[in-house]
Amino acid sequence: MSLAGSPPGWLRPILDAVSDVRAEQLSRHAPPEPGAGRASAVLALLGESRRAGRMVPDVLLIERAHSLRNHAGTPAFPGGIIDPGDDGPVGAALREAKEETGLDLAGVDVLATLPSLWLPAGGYVVTPVLAWWREPSPVRVVDTAEVASVHRVPLADLVDPANRLRVRHPSGYVGPAFRIDGLLVWGFTAGVLGWLLDVAGLARPWDRTRVELLPLAEGAERR
């Protein structure tokens, strides 16, 4: 267990890798020209929670509301559009996480920003903000028009080979995915999570030949 306020040892490989990470390691889509797209940010918040009497690493995810026009019902990191009053990607990611989950920002330490990534669906250019949940706070659905559910997903569930697969989009694209906590995590979010697990040295061998067709409701948008 780490000292209070100090990131744990399992985070060190991730922090060491951040300075060298390239956009193509996180997504198959290269960002468009500077100034193009809708600038957005998400919060990749890593923490620890008590499970079965011990502290285990986890990550905060939301399930987007099923009534939304874009990415309805898909699991994702908290986040959204960068507003003019935000302090760039970091400010937007923190603000959106608070608005969507009730996260207490006083317990969050921002560690780094990752390369901006292009999401063709909606024309978003998304900057993932990596953070350590130094003092976890209760989280919940704040606005049901935006969020259907909130989850603290143990990294052990993500690395479990039984929960890993690839999905085939109606466009023909095949990409990584996770089945955890009743959710199918795919696309941009699965790509970032896969990279985090790999560089942290937590990933375990899994069956990459396991390919399933993306359900129509989720595959209706190109990601």
Q: Which pLDDT belongs to residue 156?
A: 96
Compute the average pLDDT of residues 117-124: 83
Task: Tell me whether residue 138 is exposed, middle or buried, using C-beta atoms within 10 angstroms of its C-beta: 0 to 12, 13 to 18, 19 or more.
Answer: exposed
For the chain, the residue count is: 223
Q: Which pLDDT belongs to residue 71?
A: 66
Higher local confidence (pLDDT), 83 or 34 = 83
Give the CATH fold of the 9-219 domain: Nucleoside Triphosphate Pyrophosphohydrolase (3.90.79)
pLDDT digits (tens, 9 = 90+) for 61-83: 999 998 876 667 789 999 999 99
Q: Which pLDDT belongs to residue 19?
A: 85
> From the CB of residue 42, how many other CB atoms can be counted at a distance below 10 Å?
26
Higher local confidence (pLDDT), 215 or 213 = 213
pLDDT digits (tens, 9 = 90+) for 133-174: 999 999 999 989 999 999 999 999 999 999 999 999 888 889
> From the CB of residue 79, how many other CB atoms can be counted at a distance below 10 Å?
25
Q: Quick one: pLDDT band at residue 123, thresholds 50, 70, 90? A: confident
Sequence spans of domains, the chain: 9-219
Q: Quick one: pLDDT band at residue 92, thresholds 50, 70, 90? A: very high
Q: Quick one: pLDDT band at residue 218, thresholds 50, 70, 90? A: low
> From the CB of residue 134, how many other CB atoms can be counted at a distance below 10 Å?
16
Question: In the predicted model, is pLDDT for residue 100 greater than 60?
Answer: yes
pLDDT digits (tens, 9 = 90+) for 178-207: 999 889 999 999 999 999 999 999 999 999
Give yes or no for a contact between 17 and 10, defined as CB atoms under 8 angstroms apart: no
Q: pTM of the full predicted structure? A: 0.91
SS3 217: helix
